[in-house]
Chain A
Amino acid sequence: GAVVSQHPSRVICKSGTSVKIECRSLDFQATTMFWYRQFPKQSLMLMATSNEGSKATYEQGVEKDKFLINHASLTLSTLTVTSAHPEDSSFYICSAQGLAHNEQFFGPGTRLTVL
């Protein structure tokens, strides 16, 4: 099946710094990738939809200036959490839409801890 990787898997940073998370589709091209946030013991919350070569579409309540998304190629999307604060600590999961369009393949997630 399709494989999606994320890097890093875990990151700890100081408050006020920026953190970049990469999402890669390893064996297929993904014109659309999604970024989710998951709080402990909760479901996934869609943050934004990332389309290759165009601006990301953010869900209501998600600050686009704080969560910068770049989908520079058909296999790579990045999420940058700018000026991170402790409340940004969470599990961030990306997914990539397969060629069949009805499937989403998820990355393993990145656990961000902001001190």
Chain B
Amino acid sequence: RKEVEQDPGPFNVPEGATVAFNCTYSNSASQSFFWYRQDCRKEPKLLMSVYSSGNEDGRFTAQLNRASQYISLLIRDSKLSDSATYLCVVNIAYGGATNKLIFGTGTLLAVQP
């Protein structure tokens, strides 16, 4: 079983739609959680951190459920420019201040005009 699992998609949605991505992780020692975005043939970039209380950044809302080891990302009012692969990322405790970020396989979003 992969440490971080996501539905690979693709999710094909019309502009303006609301879309939700889910992610589960297996390591209960995971300390912190993130969503990254990767455009086609580009490097991944941090989209947002995920907190237990839930957090919002414009049209994007992230939620974490530690008990269920489940992370979600909601995108409202989808734009064409949101088309990308969304990577769920978990930071495993490695000792000291060393970060070991484990990436999910990503969910591909294609927003259609």
> Do A and B bind?
no
Which B residues fall within an 8 A CB radius of A? none
Interface of A with B (CB < 8 Å)? none
